[in-house]
Amino acid sequence: MAESGQHISCQEVVELVTDYLEAALPPDDAALLEQHLNFCEGCVWYVDQTRTTIETVRHIDTPDLTAETRERLLTMFRDWKRS
């Protein structure tokens, strides 16, 4: 992503939010994203809303969803967000 000393854009925050919330970003990228959040109220709101959505969806009961199907759906979502 961005090199040391650079900043990230709001668009990059949107693209990285899932990995950020899953603690899957490299430390330097996470630090840049957090630096951006210090100055961008809109992105703070977006990250908070995404976090709330993830927490809410985790509590939905999916008895008919197999573990394999769940993993396939999560992988498809992650790949879609990255493309």
Q: Are 17 and 34 in contact (CB under 8 A)?
A: no
Q: For the segment 7-29, what is each residue's pLDDT rounded down to a tens digit?
A: 899 999 999 999 999 999 999 99
Buried b (16+ CB within 10 A) or exposed e, 43-74: beebbeebeeeeeeeeeeeeeeeeeeeeeeee
Separation between Cα atoms, residue 47 and residue 14, nearest integer Å: 8
Give the separation between CA 13 and CA 46, rounded to whole angstroms. 9
How far apart (Å, rounded) are the C-alpha atoms in residues 28 and 26? 6
Q: How confident is the model at residue 1 (pLDDT cuts 50, 70, 90)?
A: low
Residue that wins the pLDDT comparison between 2 and 70: 70
Instruction: Tell me: pLDDT of 77 over 90.
Output: no
CATH of 10-82, one of 3.40.50, 3.90.550, 1.10.357, 1.10.10: 1.10.10
Model confidence pLDDT, tens digit, residues 24-70: 999 999 999 999 999 999 999 999 999 998 888 777 776 777 888 88
